[in-house]
Amino acid sequence: MQPSGNLVADTICRTAEIGLTITGAADAGNITIIDATPVAVATTCPECGHPGTKRDHVVRTLVDLPVVGFPTRLHVRVPRFLCTMASCPRKIFQASLACADDRSKLTHRVTRWVLQRLAIDRMSVAATATALGVGWELVNQVALDACRQLVYDDASHLDGVRILGVDEHVWKHTRKPGQPSNLVTILVDLTPLVDGRGPARLLDIRPGRSADVLRTWLQERDPGFREQVQVVTMDGFTGYASAVDQVLPGATKVMDPFHVVHLAADKLTGCRQRLQRETTGRRGRKDDPLYKHRRTLLTRTDYLTERQKQRLDMLWATDDDYVALEVTWMFYQDVIQAYGHPKKSEGKKLMDRIINTLRKGLPKGLEELAQLGRTLWRRREDVLAYFDIGASNGPVEAINGRLEHLRGIALGFRNLNHYILRSLIHSGQIHNRINAL
């Protein structure tokens, strides 16, 4: 019968669940050493299957979960055997442990613990490595290998994806942010969010931002996946739209409301800057009316204070040179009102009216509105599709923000492959699969 002290230790350290029993322990400074032996040992030769005779023992050192905040090392006394089959090429074999793979330095539950700390607790690799008392490289490699198995080697990873979100992401900020090498395309499953089953999940990240990047990714998926995708949400980048038209002709494209409003805001800002240069011959300064009210111009009318409304009224009444800006501002507010209408059907009518109005001939001096009108007319079906479907790229932008946080806690990334896999651990919603390890 097992001694009561060992039973208590096994219960506290939970060694019974990994097939070990504690025989002793020692304090080695910052590391706790636990001596253990296997509860059950297989005595058959892994080469020929015949039983073996006990030869000796070896001590195998494994990294296990921290105990009361201190890194732990298991010193497991593993028996070795002599094979009784004379013709067997393997004369000596060592018993395998259920808690760890052969030649592995970590127990299986440490791999699960590492992924849980990275995915659920948002810990950095450095903090996780410190808690285990091992090197950064080992923890990082364990996490990456496990993530590959959970995502790319899992045939069910892409099951049930009906609504796909696509967006660009800057994975590395440099002094030249526009470089293609700094951009990646992120692909997000919005189906759980729309169905009310859970949050959106990151599916994959591909280097680059182009039609070819998205087209290649979609073509690499099996026909069953391409047939199940019904909706693709995206920004105003025409490359993504053309890729969807080529590979997923039956899917509905949705141009995200955030990007439509942002596009209108860019045209409003462009008009303000143009008038600033035309009226003053220079860029805006803090006392210039156009520059001073730049933020107020971009604020939704429902959120304007009385003082801000008075400022805008004074701005429009000050100078006739600002008529073009006032007209552009009114269309910008109309776009916001269309998306904010409580009835999607009425909002669709308002947006359709805006697009048709901008499509018609505009007076000279409204260059920015004319550009906005051409873009909205070209993507008219994609813009109006939002009011029928309701799916948007908002959750994709949220994942974009979470990846920014990941890059912060990791103090920047230099290896894109590591960044992609760490992003999947961080935002891939693989918690259930991690807990099942």
Could you count the other beta carbons within 10 Å of the beta carbon of residue 309? 12
| Rounded Cα–Cα distance for residues 357 and 371 (Å) | 13
- Write a three-state SS string for 178-201: CCHHHEEEEEEECHHHHHCCCCCE
Q: Return the residue matching tokens 């296997």.
A: 38
| Rounded Cα–Cα distance for residues 60 and 302 (Å) | 69
| Rounded Cα–Cα distance for residues 325 and 2 (Å) | 85
- Asked if 38 and 62 touch (Cβ cutoff 8 Å), the reply is no
- DSSP annotation of 436 reads T
Per-residue pLDDT tens listing for the chain (437 residues): 344 457 788 888 888 889 999 999 888 888 999 999 999 888 899 888 888 899 999 999 999 999 888 999 999 999 999 998 888 988 899 999 999 998 899 999 999 999 999 988 888 999 999 999 999 999 999 999 999 999 999 888 999 999 999 999 999 887 776 677 889 999 999 999 988 888 999 999 999 999 999 999 999 999 999 999 999 999 889 999 999 999 999 999 999 999 999 999 999 999 999 999 998 999 999 889 999 999 999 999 999 999 999 999 988 987 678 899 999 999 999 999 999 999 999 999 999 999 999 988 788 889 999 999 999 999 999 999 999 998 888 899 999 999 988 888 887 788 899 999 999 999 998 888 888 87
CA dist list (Å): 217 to 44, 185, 186, 267, 303: 47, 10, 11, 33, 42
Q: What is the DSSP annotation of 24-45?
A: EEEEETTEEEEEEEESS---B-
The domains of the chain are located at: 1-105, 163-253+405-435, 257-389
- CA dihedral over 54, 58, 61, 66, signed as positive or negative: positive
Its pTM stands at 0.82
Residue 3 confidence (pLDDT): 45
- Amino acid 247 reads V
- Helix 136-151 to helix 108-119 angle, to the nearest 10 degrees? 90
Helix residue ranges per DSSP H, 176-322: 191-195, 211-220, 223-228, 238-247, 257-280, 289-292, 294-297, 306-318
- Asked if 167 and 401 touch (Cβ cutoff 8 Å), the reply is no
